[in-house]
Amino acid sequence: MRTTRTTRTVLAAAAAAALLPLTALPASASTSAATGPYKGLPNGTKSAKTLVIGIDGTRYDKLLAADAPNLKALMSGGMTATGNLYANPLAPTLSGPGWSTIATGVWPDKHGVKDNTFAGSHFDTYPDVATRLETASPGASTLVAASWNPLTDTVFNGRADLRIDESENDAKTASDAADYLANGNPDTTFLHFDEVDEAGHGHGGASSQYLAAIHAVDSLVGQVVQAVRSRPTYGSEDWLIVVTTDHGHTDAGGHGGNSAVERQTFVIADGAGLTPGSTRRDVKPVDIAPTVLEHEGVAIDPAWQLDGRPIDTITPDAFDGLRPGLQSRTDETGIPVGVKGWTHTPPAGWSIDNSAMPTGGVTEWRGWSFATDEFWTATQLGQSRETNVRARNVFAVADSDEWDDKAHGTGRFDSTLVSPRYPVAGAGHATVSFATDYTIDGPQTGDLYVVFDAGTPQLVKSYRADLNGFEQLTVAVPAGVSTAQLRFRYTGTNSAFWTVDQVAVTTGS
């Protein structure tokens, strides 16, 4: 989390604690449902309950390697999603930006947190999930207990009913949470454990101590989940349990940079409607806040401009279906040989017009390509590719900078991505929507056209400045036409890139 930590004895004590079965009833558990406030926490009003557990600085690959039966039981019982975080210039892989993203449901370019000072934060515009829940449902009971005090003092410094500073004491975080969950009645609980991050800073992400810390925290997770499942009202409640992290760690220890192990992240979600043992690539930490809100019965207001979406509303697009057929590197040299992450073969209905492309250049990026984050960002770190956070799973990318790294024929990069024909008959207008990251570092252009039936391409929007967001563009539909086709034309001379994902055309009267 932070660059230095104070060594504590809690880790060793927790590691030695016996693993508790998740179904056992703790001695302190109440035998009847809470009917009033408990130790300063109001009595909840909802049968839908949410528990979010944050484990600071935890690499997914090391979680898989660790002795972590409680976490792996949650994975077996629900969904696990893996992916990568942002890096500079959006924000470094630090705890301030990471937990702010998880709590608010927006990326750092909206919530404004760039480091652990929280300078420039926009929590007034993008408040934490507990504040959103309390605002929408004042009778809800919300609890936050965090081993890193800035979470309770700053990130969740809104309308949560009870916030407990645990001062880097994971054992107390777990015991306090288990007490409130067993004997009180919170509707939404957010916990934060710190030991894994401390082990990463002290011993490195590749150390045995790091694996031991994951095991220790796993025991604490078991203690908390046990308290949930032993509630006398558990059988009549609808529980969603989510586990996540804010960043990873280098092998030597530390984070804040843009390496794959620092950007590594995961979301584990166990609850009704989630396929047991399933894995996904299109769910991100930014989706946790809206998922909690939806579970608690709060309608997501578009005016909030959340970047995340409830998990059950995220569906694969046509690009995502390409993942099984993705290729390993051809001309690229910095990407590990075993990483498969690109193709020029479009999904059904899509096509790429490279008639204006010069010959040669780096094969992977000659014209529009379809790629994954883990492949594309590895081409060269620190060139803003890590800002492409709004794409999910496989996305389309035109990258004149990487293409230019190998000799090619005379001329600039010039390629057009062509969509299928969308039905628009009888509509007065259509809405074109897509996630995009348009980044400039030299001469380049981006233009979006629409073609109705077999007509002449009409310009919808020209891109001449950086834009990282989700576009929703309205176009008038001429009378008598049946279809609309999109064309994304990108040109560049050793500049940067344009990414496109989640493309849709919807109609209205």
Question: Are 85 and 265 in contact, with CB atoms under 8 Å apart?
Answer: yes
User: 107: closest CA among 431, 473, 470?
Assistant: 470
Query: Is 322:350 a contact under the CB 8 Å cutoff?
Result: no
**H-state helical runs in 208-259:** 208-229
- Could you tell me if 339 and 378 are in contact, meaning their C-beta atoms sit under 8 angstroms apart? yes
Contact between 433 and 471 (Cβ < 8 Å): yes
In whole angstroms, how far apart are CA 160 and each of 130, 186, 239, 302, 417? 5, 11, 19, 23, 47
Neighbours of 443 (CB within 10 A): 12
Domain segments of the chain: what residues? 46-313, 320-508
- The tens-digit pLDDT sequence of the chain (509 residues) is 333 333 332 332 333 333 333 333 333 333 234 567 999 999 999 999 999 999 999 999 999 999 999 999 999 999 999 999 999 999 999 999 999 999 999 999 999 999 999 999 999 999 999 999 999 999 999 999 999 999 999 999 989 999 999 999 999 999 999 999 999 999 999 999 999 999 999 999 999 999 999 999 999 999 999 999 999 999 999 999 999 999 999 999 999 999 999 999 999 999 999 999 999 999 999 999 999 999 999 999 999 999 999 999 999 999 999 999 999 999 999 899 889 999 999 999 999 999 999 999 999 999 999 999 999 999 999 999 999 999 999 999 999 999 999 999 999 999 999 999 999 999 999 999 999 999 999 999 999 999 999 999 999 999 999 999 999 999 999 999 999 999 999 999 999 999 999 999 999 75
* Residue of 210, 163, 181, 245 whose CA lies nearest to 50: 181
Predicted pLDDT of residue 338: 87
What single letter denotes the amino acid at residue 192?
A: H
Structure tokens at 386: 């890590």
User: Does the pTM of the predicted model rise above 0.95?
Assistant: no
Instruction: Name the percent of the chain in helix, strand, coil, to the closest 5.
Output: 30, 25, 45
Other beta carbons less than 10 A from residue 403's beta carbon: 27
The pLDDT assigned to 33 comes to 46
- Say which CATH architecture domain 320-508 belongs to: Sandwich (2.60)
Q: At what angle do helices 208-229 and 170-183 cross, to 10 degrees?
A: 10
CATH of domain 46-313: 3.40.720.10
* Total Cβ atoms within 10 A of residue 507: 16
